Amino acid sequence: MTIPLIDQLADASLLKEQAYIGGRWVDAQSNNTFDVVDPATQKIIARVADLGAAETAQAIELADTAMREWRAKAPKQRSDILERWYQLIVDNTEDLAIIMSAEQGKMLAESRGEIAYSASFIKWFAEEGKRVYGDVISSAQTDRRGITIKQAIGVVAAITPWNFPSAMITRKVAPALAVGCAVVLKPAAETPLSALALAELAHRAELPAGLLNIITGVDAVAIGGELTSNKRVKKLTFTGSTPVGKLLMAQCANTVKRTSMELGGNAPIVIFDDADLDLVMPGIINAKFRNSGQTCISANRILVQKGIYDTFIARLQDAASTFNFGTYSDGNSTHGPLITQTAVDNVDAKVQHAVAQGANLVCGGEKNDSTGYFYPATILTDLTREMAIFNEEIFGPVAAIYPFDTEQQAIDMSNDTPFGLAAYVYTESMRRSWRVAEALEYGMVGVNETAISAETVPFGGVKESGQGREGSKYGLDDYLEIKYICFGSMDK
C-alpha cells in the first residue's frame, strides 16, 4: 500500500493545495481544483486550486503595490530576508525532496541535489543584490556631470517548467527579489507542489506580502495571456519549449516587455578518438540519463569518432543494462519515469521513426505496459544527420549515436541545428578543445565535463535556444533598468 504523501513529510504544513497571493493562501474563485499525479504510480497525490486570468490580475496588482516599498529598502535588508529563506530551504531539504520526487518522479538523490542547487541561487543573489553598481561618466561639457544608476525593472512574470520544479523557480525569483522586484509565478501544472512549498518557506522567512505570488492552474492560455498583456508587468521570464517561448515573446510585444527565454536544446556531445573513456562514461550517463533524459541540456546527439565508435557503444550498453527504472520510494531504483503518458508516446514515436528510417536499435525501444510512465534506456546507432531524430529534442532516456570522421565534420554536425543551448566535447588535446569549443555555436560548452551548471556561472543559449542569462553576476542584469542622470550647471 502506498503511503500518502502528507504522511511521508516531517512537516506536513509544507504540502499546500491552495495558491499563494498577496501573502495569503487562497482557493480559486471558481473553487475548481486539478489533480497532481505521481508519474511513477499514476496515483493522485494532491488536488490544487485551479486559478485563471482574474486571480492572475489580482496578484499582479498586489505585486505592483508591494514592490514600491520593497525596492526602497536597503539592499542588505532584502538580503537578510533572502538569507533566512535560504536557510529554511536547507533545513527542510528532505521534505522538499520528497515532495519533488512525488510530483515529478525523479529519484530522491536527484531531488536532494536539486534542492541544494535551488537554495544556492538564493544564497548567491542575496549577496549579489548588494553589489549593484552604477558609473560616473565624463562629459564633454565642463559644467555637467553624468552618472548611471540601476533600478528594479518592476513586476516580473515568471513561467517555469516541470523538469526542475524548484531550481527553475529560485534561479528567476532570487535575482528579481534581490534587486527590488516583485514576482508573479506560474509553475507547471504537473508540478505545482514544489513551488507552493517554496512559497510557504518564503512566508516563514517574513518575505513581505505580495512580493512572491504563486498562480496554480491548468489554463495556461488564460494565465499567460494576463501575464503578457498586463501593463503592470514589466518583464517576463520563461523556461520551456521554443514554440511556446516564441508565442510569449510575440504577446509581450504589444506592451514592449523585457523578456528572457531559456528554450529548447539539441545538445551535441562530441567524443574524439583520443578521449579517456573512463572519464567519458560517467559524463555521458549524467548528460544523457539524468532525470531520465528530461533536461534541456541533455546530450541529445552523441557524436563519436569512428576509431572508438564500437568500443563506446559496448561500454554504454553495459552501463545502461544496470539501470533500474522505478519509484523514488524503491531503494533499488536508479531512474524514474517520464512526466506523462504523452511524454512516453512522444519519445517512443521518435525511436520508432528512427528505426523505420534505418537506425539500429541496440537496446530498449519498447513502451512499458505496467503502471507508471516509464520508458527503458534505449540506444540507437547507425544514425545519420538526414534522419528526423537528428533535429528533434528527444527528452527521454534515448542515446542517439552518430559516427564522424574529422574534427570539422563534428563541428559542422554539431552546429547543424537552430538551437544553441549546451554542447560537450571530450578530448585529451588542449589545442583541439580550444578550437572546437570556440567553433561551437552554443551558449555553454563543457570540455571533458558535463556537470556544467552552478549558481556562479551564466546559464543560457543562443539562436533559438533563448536570450538572456541566469545565474552568476550576469543574472541580475535582466531585472534591472539603467537610468542616466545628468547634473547641469555644476560650475555655478
Q: Which of 110, 190, 200, 262 is catalytic?
A: 262
The DSSP annotation for 378-441 comes to EEEES--TTSGGGGS---SSEEEEEEE-SHHHHHHHHH-SSEESEEEEE-S-HHHHHHHHHHS-
Which among 69, 153, 140 is positioned nearest to 483, based on CA atoms? 153
How far is 219 from 285, CA to CA, in rounded Å? 36
How far apart are the C-alpha atoms of 287 and 301, rounded to whole Å?
11
Structure-block grid coordinates of residue 206: 517574513
The label of the residue with cell 534587486 reads 179
All cell numbers assigned to 116: 541544494
Instruction: Give the separation between CA 366 and CA 348, rounded to whole angstroms.
Output: 7
d(CA 365, CA 350): 10
> What b/e readout covers 42-68, taking b as 16+ CB neighbours within 10 angstroms?
eeebbebbbbbbebbbbbbbbbbbbbe
Confirm whether 449 is a catalytic residue.
Answer: no
DSSP 311-358: HHHHHHHHHHTT--B--TT-TT-SB---S-HHHHHHHHHHHHHHHHTT
Q: Which of 128, 190, 200, 296 is catalytic?
A: 296
Catalytic residue list contains 486: no
Which amino acid is residue 144, in one-letter code? R
Task: Tell which residue, 335, 380, 326, has the closest CA to residue 354.
Answer: 380
Task: For residue 185, give every residue at least 6 positions away whose Cβ sits within 8 Å of its Cβ, in sequence order, or none.
Answer: 157, 158, 159, 160, 169, 172, 173, 195, 212, 213, 214, 215
Please give the order of strands across the beta sheet that includes 135-137: 135-137, 145-152, 480-487
Residues in the chain: 492
**So which residues are the catalytic ones?**
262, 296
